Amino acid sequence: MKKNPKKKTQLSSTPKLVSFVGRSNSGKTTLLTKIIPLLKKQGLSIGTIKNTHHDVEFDVPGKDSWKYRDSGSDRTLVSSGKKIAIFAESNYQSSLNELAATWFDDMDLVISEGFKNEKCLKIEVVRSANNKSPLYQESIFEIDAIVTDIALDTTLPTFHFDELDSIVNWICKTLSLPCQ
């Protein structure tokens, strides 16, 4: 994989990580689709990782890449000149840090959705319509900030869904990212 020629100097060998976590249907994906373009405007290279507990089929049965995997290939790469996809079998759940270091080592920032039990910067998304208990109330999740549409009793940095620039600035400052 070709390295990004505009790669910014990082303090560690793995990319910086921020994970957006929260109960299902809290608006994590919607929020991320608004945050990512703002981080890109800061001159950052961004990678994304989605964690799911569902058994997702990534390759189309009957296609050549599926046939290779079905016949026993442990990893298949499909290249079209403009896009690359890798399909691989895994015997264990990789950690967010392992995934980021393996697949996104040339990125300034990796944003994940999920991975609430991982050790990284975590922003919880809490929506009133969801009517579910927030994760930040359970210390095992180690939440660092919250994006919400309700008043919460917490000392954590808290942002409203429409404070996108403030969220981006907080991420940049907290992770010491080379934002413009």
Residue type, 13: S
The Cα–Cα gap between 164 and 145 comes to: 13
Q: Are 123 and 167 in contact (CB under 8 A)?
A: yes
Number of H helices, E strands in the chain: 4, 8
Please tell me the predicted confidence (pLDDT) of residue 163: 98
Tell me which residue has tokens 């020629």.
5
Which CATH fold topology does 16-52+92-174 show?
A: Rossmann fold (3.40.50)
What token pair was written down for 140?
């095992």
What token pair was written down for 177?
């990212």
| pLDDT tens for the chain, residues 1 to 180 | 333 333 333 334 579 999 999 999 999 999 999 999 999 999 999 999 998 766 666 778 888 888 888 888 888 888 888 988 887 777 878 899 999 998 899 999 999 999 999 999 999 999 999 989 999 999 999 999 999 999 999 999 999 999 999 999 999 999 999 998
